[in-house]
Amino acid sequence: MRLEALPEGVVNLADFEAPARERMSAQAWAYMSGGAADELTLRANRSAWDAIKLQPRVLRDLSGGHTRLPLLGRELAHPILLAPIAYQRLAHEDGELASAYAAAAQSAGMVLSAQSSVEMEAVAKAFADEPQSGPLWFQLYWRDDPGFMLELIQRVERAGYEALVLTVDAPVHGARDRERRAGFQLPDDVRAVNLGGRKQPLALAPGQSMMFDGLMPRAATWREIDWLRAHSRLPLLLKGVSHPDDAREALQRGVSGLIVSNHGGRTLDTLPATAELLPVVRAAVGEAVPLLVDGGIRRGTDVLKALALGADAVLLGRPYVFALAAAGALGVAHGLRLLRDEFEIAMALTGCKTPADAGPHLLW
């Protein structure tokens, strides 16, 4: 893995986007940057954070303040984690390994995608080599093969991952127009290296639906949540919960935490922004349940707003892949540092001594 120079003029996360687009193929750019259908939810995720206004408190003694917080039995240095994003070698040859080294160096957590293009053990070693790293979790998509799922979970546990994150809002792909127009296909040298074997082909009778007779019978239900809880010692979080009834059901099933997400606007278009969904889910589950949010996070003020709306931490998505494409591991590390610095500035300017001080009183 080589160190690269940062592009000139990078002072915030958005500044990585232009150099990333120059370095990525048109197909890879469409895959990483695009959303579903008309991309209304993709845009809403960003505009919703912009629409929220902060109301600062002044003249407070903030000496000794910090960004630390507890989450799932760990003390995090700050509330910023890298979201699971597949096939990162589309953006840079070092892929998820570069992101892992950057996250570990910046004491950030990371959720590795099941569709990682780098072996999970290599990513885990990058975290293990850095004593100040944040938590390392593994994201799953359900595959209708209990034997395969059990082997995968056991491999995840052996590698040292600290939690499982099951994505529940994408049993099928969204209608991603941008990808289809670009003719996106994975190149021969990029694949989901942790997912061996092939899925069983669909056997449909004449007149049967590919969706409802073929794909959906293989999708996860609440039964699979019970199965995962029974077959792994790791905490289980569900990613993609947006309805309060689903949030309450998850808690009844013994889930350890939830991630409020609309899949970055990549599955079902016209969903509300995650900034709008977050307080609804928090109200449904109460104050004690670990709750994270992703979607549209770009600024330190967004992180503070998320905490004020009820999140314990945030997941950063596309911006760190753009930083990866622009400058490899150094780009991701620099992007995380920029976001953390902005978060500390926002805390100081609103009178927050610690993340626990963030609450609805900060919002106009």
For 140-154, the DSSP string reads: E---S-HHHHHHHHH
pLDDT reported for residue 3: 77
pLDDT digits (tens, 9 = 90+) for 23-38: 999 999 999 999 999 9
**Percent of the chain at pLDDT above 70?**
96
Q: Which run of H or E residues covers position 110?
A: strand 109-112
Per-residue pLDDT tens over the stretch 241-280 = 999 999 999 999 999 999 999 999 999 999 999 999 999 9
Q: What is the pLDDT of residue 170?
A: 86
pLDDT at 238 over 90: yes
Nearest residue to 161 via CA among 127, 137, 125, 132 = 137
Residues 168 and 220: beta-carbon distance below 8 Å: yes
Q: How far apart are CA 276 and CA 33, in angstroms?
A: 22
Q: Cα separations (Å) of 10 from 19, 259, 303, 322, 352?
A: 10, 30, 20, 12, 27
Question: What is the model's pLDDT at position 2?
Answer: 74
Beta bridge pairs of residue 257: 237
Query: Does pLDDT of 177 surpass 80?
Result: yes
How much is the pLDDT for 215?
64
- CB atoms under 10 Å from CB of 132, counted, come to 9
Count other Cβ atoms within 10 Å, centred on residue 341.
11
Closest CA to 340 of 314, 309, 312, 364: 314
What residues contact residue 319 under an 8 Å CB cut-off, 6+ apart?
13, 14, 16, 17, 297, 298, 335
Residue 214's pLDDT is 62
Residue 198 predicted with pLDDT over 60: no
Residue with more model confidence, 173 or 283:
283
The SS3 call for residue 350 is helix
Please report the pLDDT score of residue 208 as a whole number: 74
Element (H, E) at 82: strand 80-82
CA atoms within 13 A on the CB side of 252: 9
79, 119, 298, 313 from 303: Cα distances, Å: 8, 30, 8, 8
Q: What percent of the chain has pLDDT over 90?
A: 89
pLDDT of residue 184: 96
Q: Give the pLDDT score at 213.
A: 58
Is residue 21 pLDDT above 80, yes or no? yes
Q: How many CB atoms are closer than 10 A to CB 20?
A: 26
Residue-wise pLDDT tens digits, 42-81: 999 999 999 999 999 999 999 999 999 999 999 999 999 9
Distances from the Cα of 254 to the Cα of 222, 228, 229, 248, 250, angstroms: 11, 11, 8, 10, 7
**pLDDT tens digits, 313-333:** 999 999 999 999 999 999 999
Asked whether the beta carbons of 195 and 112 are under 8 A apart, the reply is: no
Tens digit of each residue's pLDDT (9 = 90 or more) over 203-215: 777 877 667 756 6
Please compute the mean of the pLDDT values over residues 234-244 and round it to a whole number: 97
- Choose among 111, 83, 10, 112: nearest CA to 334: 10
Is residue 172 very low, low, confident or very high in pLDDT (cuts 50, 70, 90)? confident
Query: Is pLDDT of 139 > 80?
Result: yes
Q: How many CB atoms lie within 10 A of CB 199?
A: 11
Residues carrying an active site annotation? 263
Q: Could you tell me the pLDDT band of residue 171, with boundaries at 50, 70 and 90?
A: confident
Mean pLDDT, residues 144-173: 95
Alpha carbon of residue 181 to chain centroid: 26
pLDDT at res. 60? 97
Q: What's the confidence (pLDDT) of residue 1? A: 75
How does DSSP assign 242-296, residue by residue? -SHHHHHHHHHTT--EEEE--GGGTSSTTPPPHHHHHHHHHHHH-SSS-EEEESS
